[in-house]
Amino acid sequence: MSNSTVTGLAPQELVPIDPVRLDGKNYTIWARRMEFFLKELKVEYVLYEPCPGIMLGSEATTEEIAESKAAEEKWIKDDFMCLRTILNYLCDDLLHRYAKRKKTTTAKQLWDDLKLMFGTKRSLVRKYMEFQMVDEKTVVEQVQEFNRIFDDVVASGMTLSEKFHVSAILAKLPASWKYSNIKSLTGKEKPLTLEVLMDSLRVEEEYVCL
């Protein structure tokens, strides 16, 4: 008895793809497996083909108009499925970040945003270097955001040490932290680790808020 008979699968049927969830550190393998998965769902084309508009002449027949409208409706339906599928395979943090973005209206826009965020080294480095902290937000939340960018840079293959990152955090602290006790930690004999810095920032911020 053949394997296809045992499993009930036709010999020509493809092996189902099980995509991984994008966590910001596995973009390359995620994108490849997601493309295969979207292709199996027959919706991958919306990432590369624009929505077919109804652009028919005045002499178009009723049948031609109906076919054109059906093609447009199919693209819109497939785009919705493609968008929801991509969102479904994002980690919780990324899902929360992208699901509520009003400007992301198509699967291609989301796909391009993710590629720009996690698939382009130059854009990640620029985002890291240009990051600035402000007094209007809590420092801990801003440093956590900065840490995520640091993780993305490292995940892209760039070499960036924790020591450099800690120094960058201290340099980017807002003006109101200029005379805080945090910077005095750098004078210790042992190198200041990211974990120690984060704990110190939380303590300092809680003290300031009292």
pLDDT tens digits, one per residue of 18-42? 788 998 778 878 999 999 999 999 9
Separation CA 88–CA 122 (nearest Å): 27
pLDDT at 111: 94
pLDDT at 72: 92
Supply the DSSP string of the chain, one letter for each residue: --HHHHHT--TTPPPPP-PPPB-SS-HHHHHHHHHHHHHHTT-GGGGTS--------TT--HHHHHHHHHHHHHHHHHHHHHHHHHHHTB-HHHHHHHHT-TT--SHHHHHHHHHHHHS-HHHHHHHHHH----TTS-HHHHHHHHHHHHHHHHHTT----HHHHHHHHHHHS-GGGTTSSGGGGGGSSSPPPHHHHHHHHHHHHHHHH-
What's the average model confidence in pLDDT over 145-168? 88
pLDDT at 54: 65
Separation CA 97–CA 24 (nearest Å): 12
Q: Look at residue 5 and tell me whether its pLDDT is greater than 50.
A: no
Separation CA 83–CA 20 (nearest Å): 16
Question: What digits encode the pLDDT tens for the residues 101-152?
Answer: 766 689 999 999 888 777 777 777 888 898 999 988 899 999 999 998 898 8
pLDDT at 55: 62
pTM across the whole model: 0.54
Question: What digits encode the pLDDT tens for the residues 72-102?
Answer: 999 999 999 999 999 999 999 899 888 877 6
pLDDT at 73: 93
Is residue 15 very low, low, confident or very high in pLDDT (cuts 50, 70, 90)?
low
Domain ranges of the chain: 14-118, 121-209
Q: Look at residue 1 and tell me whether its pLDDT is greater than 60.
A: no
Is residue 56 very low, low, confident or very high in pLDDT (cuts 50, 70, 90)?
low
